[in-house]
């Protein structure tokens, strides 16, 4: 494997004078002017070269992901490397069409506006700041960087703490693919680095993180009215309908519970089970969780997350919840300022959960799932509405019933008879509502998020009635036109037409000058 190092534009220390960051940003803007003028196909062809480089450096990238919850290399392939390579391929094939100008001739618009030839262009913002996340440090910020670059922007990349090494490798591979060196500014992973960059000036921010971090960031962006996309946490719902394949449901719940050590914003947290189906569901799920391969499975979580998890568990148990599967014993932890080592944690599934329990409104990145008994799907919808997060949801059951329910679910992405995996499709936008943020990344809509519309409208012909001061005849003509064009009753249309014609004839007869 080729392990040679390519040096990227990097701000390693935020204690440096502000001028150094300003110089780097000035160079990025200069590079962006040239980059944005290049053909879209030229930009995406460069990005597409990343696919091969990801394969060549796959083991190096995997070893650089210092995630305490990542299980093995296989999980890195499916959750990071394949989706990122697919994104590069999709952008190379589709970005040109998505970003193409939209042309509108006057004949298709309101006729009273006269002849216009208008064009809607998608133009890059300039300097887009990507704030990465720790749980998927390659795919999530990587896909956002590729979209920003494909749209013609320069990028400022602030990795999550602990993700500096893999972030540096990603930037190095982009430079090797042919991205201009000054087009990407890689910051260190500190919060101060992000704040300093915003103070210097960026044109848009795309953040993946917790809702609390998102609020803090938005306060910092408010003074400059900097636009942002907030891809924030989840506490996602699973609806189980009568007639659902319970074997499939339980297999996928175990998958979702264990994926990335439970550190997935789309993990199945709140499982709504009809009471009349609960016995079969509990039995099949218990069989899978009691399997020695599952029962002995553990992951690592931070002591801070572990405390939050067990504080919520103890509150739920005190109010009637039960531990369905998992170790009910709470480990003895040192105070937070004394304990910094990760804590080993197995899966934890609770049942008899009520929606007013604290865990049902928490974004805990741990292998936790909660079973909530409901009477029917309308009861489940009411229960779901009490959670402030609305990122993704899953529905299991007959297709016709699932499609009927989907219309009433508040979530940015709903899967039917599956969990999580469909969100990796590069063609699809991803984003949440409520505490889960706003705006989208990925897909057509995510690419358009990296641009703003610029409209160019050209007047054709010499007819410019609005260039003269209006008089009473103009008022009569416009009022008649309004009635003729938009009133619902036929008689009203005739009246408006006659008024318009009369006013037009009177205008033609009045003396000029």
To the question of pTM greater than 0.85 for the whole model, the response is: yes
Tokens of 386: 């009490």
Torsion angle of the four alpha carbons 294, 299, 304, 310, in this order, in degrees rounded to the nearest 10: 10
CA–CA dist 202, 126 (Å, integer): 8
Distance (Å, whole) CA 224 – CA 425: 34
Let me know: does 189 contact 160? Beta carbons within 8 Å. yes
Phi first, then psi, for residue 234 (nearest 5°) are -140, 165
Helix (H) or strand (E) holding 258: helix 246-258
Q: How far apart are the first and last CA of the chain?
A: 83
Distance from C-alpha of 264 to C-alpha of 235, rounded to nearest angstrom: 10
pLDDT means over runs of 10, the chain (513 residues): 40 50 95 97 96 96 80 89 98 97 84 88 98 96 98 98 95 97 96 94 97 94 96 97 97 95 94 94 95 81 88 94 79 50 87 95 94 95 96 97 97 97 97 96 98 94 80 86 91 92 82 62
Q: How many CB atoms are located within 10 Å of the residue 49 CB?
A: 17
> Strand 343-345 and strand 413-416: pairing?
unpaired
For residue 488, what are its two tokens? 């619902």
Type and span of the H or E element at 117 = strand 116-124
Q: What is the DSSP letter of 331?
A: P
Contact between 103 and 119 under an 8 Å Cβ cutoff? The reply is: yes
Closest residue by Cα to residue 233 from 433, 424, 372: 433
Cα Rg for the chain, rounded, in angstroms?
28
Please, are residues 125 and 153 in contact by the beta-carbon 8 Å criterion? yes
**Please, are residues 236 and 270 in contact by the beta-carbon 8 Å criterion?**
yes
Distance between CA atoms of residues 440 and 407, nearest Å: 20
Residue 73: HSE in the Cβ half-sphere, 13 Å Cα cutoff: 7
The dihedrals phi and psi of 446, each to the nearest 5 degrees, come to -70, -35
Pairing relationship of beta strands 343-345 and 299-301 according to DSSP bridges: antiparallel
Place of tokens 């210092």: 66
How far is CA 472 from each of CA 367, 469, 477, rounded to the nearest angstrom? 73, 10, 9
Phi-psi region of 465 (alpha: psi -120 to 50; beta: other; left: phi over 0): alpha
For the chain, percent helix, then strand, then coil, each to nearest 5? 50, 20, 35
Nearest to 316, CA basis, from 384, 270, 250: 270
Longest dimension (CA), the chain: 97
Which of 457, 455, 451 is closest to 123 using CA atoms? 451
- Please check whether residue 135 is in contact with residue 263, taking contact to mean a CB–CB distance below 8 angstroms: yes
Q: How far apart are CA 101 and CA 33, in angstroms?
A: 19
Nearest to 273 by CA among 263, 264, 281, 285: 281
Strands across the sheet with 102-105, in order? 102-105, 116-124, 451-459
Q: Which domains does the chain have, with CATH numbers?
A: 19-232+445-453 (3.40.605.10), 236-425 (3.40.309.10), 465-509 (no CATH)
Q: How far is residue 211's CA from residue 192's CA, in Å, rounded to a whole number? A: 19
- Angle of CA points 183, 184, 186, to nearest 5°: 155
Name the token pair of 118.
């208008």
pLDDT at 187: 95
The three-state DSSP-derived secondary structure of 200-247 is: HCCCEEEEECCHHHHHHHHHHHHCCCCCEEEECCCCEEEEECCCCCHH
> Residue 9: what pLDDT?
56
Spatial contact of 139 and 86, defined as CB atoms under 8 Å apart: no
Give residues with Cβ within 8 angstroms of 259, minimum separation 6: 75, 79, 267, 420
């Amino acid at each position: 494997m080729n392990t040679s190092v390519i040096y990227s534009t990097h701000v390693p220390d935020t204690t440096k004078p502000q001028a150094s960051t300003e110089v780097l940003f000035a160079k990025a803007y200069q590079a962006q002017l040239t980059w944005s003028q290049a053909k879209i196909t030229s930009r995406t062809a460069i990005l597409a070269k990343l696919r091969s480089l990801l394969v060549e450096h796959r083991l190096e990238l995997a070893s650089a992901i210092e995630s305490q919850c990542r299980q093995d290399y296989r999980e890195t392939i499916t959750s990071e490397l394949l989706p990122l390579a697919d994104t590069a391929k999709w952008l190379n094939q589709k970005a040109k069409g998505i970003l193409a100008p939209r042309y509108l001739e006057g004949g298709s618009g309101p006729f009273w506006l006269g002849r216009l030839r208008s064009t809607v262009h998608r133009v890059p913002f300039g300097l887009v700041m990507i704030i990465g996340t720790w749980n998927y440090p390659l795919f999530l910020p990587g896909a956002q960087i590729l979209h920003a670059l494909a749209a013609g922007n320069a990028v400022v990349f602030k990795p999550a703490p602990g993700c500096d090494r893999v972030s540096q490798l990603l930037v190095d591979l982009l430079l090797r693919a042919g991205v201009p060196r000054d087009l990407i500014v890689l910051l260190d992973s500190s919060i101060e680095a992000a704040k300093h960059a915003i103070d210097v000036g960026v044109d848009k921010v795309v953040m993946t993180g917790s809702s609390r971090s998102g609020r803090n960031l938005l306060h910092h962006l408010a003074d400059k009215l900097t636009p942002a996309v907030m891809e924030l946490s989840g506490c996602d719902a699973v609806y189980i309908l009568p007639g659902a394949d319970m074997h499939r449901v339980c297999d996928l719940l175990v998958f979702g519970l264990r994926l990335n050590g439970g550190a997935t914003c789309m993990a199945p947290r709140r499982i709504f089970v009809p009471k009349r189906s609960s016995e079969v569901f509990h039995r099949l799920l218990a069989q899978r969780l009691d399997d020695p391969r599952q029962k002995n499975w553990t992951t690592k979580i931070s002591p801070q997350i572990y405390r939050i998890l067990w504080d919520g568990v103890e509150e739920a148990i005190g109010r009637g919840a039960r531990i369905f599967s998992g170790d009910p014993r709470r480990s003895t932890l040192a105070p937070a300022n004394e304990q910094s080592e990760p804590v080993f944690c197995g899966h934890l599934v609770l049942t008899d959960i009520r929606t007013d329990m604290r865990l049902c409104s928490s974004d805990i990145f741990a292998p936790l799932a909660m079973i909530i008994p409901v009477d029917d799907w309308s009861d489940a919808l009411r229960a779901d509405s009490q959670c402030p997060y609305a990122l993704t949801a899953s529905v299991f059951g007959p297709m016709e019933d699932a499609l009927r329910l989907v219309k009433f679910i508040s979530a940015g992405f709903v899967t039917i008879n599956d969990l999580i995996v469909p969100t990796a499709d590069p063609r699809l936008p991803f984003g949440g509502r409520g505490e889960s943020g706003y705006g989208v990344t990925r897909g057509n809509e995510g690419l358009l998020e990296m641009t703003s519309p610029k409209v160019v409208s050209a007047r054709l012909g010499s007819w410019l009635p609005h260039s003269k001061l209006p008089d009473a005849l103009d008022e009569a003509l416009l009022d008649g036109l309004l009635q003729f064009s938009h009133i619902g009753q036929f008689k009203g249309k005739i009246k408006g037409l006659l008024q318009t014609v009369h006013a037009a004839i009177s205008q033609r007869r009045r003396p000029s000058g």
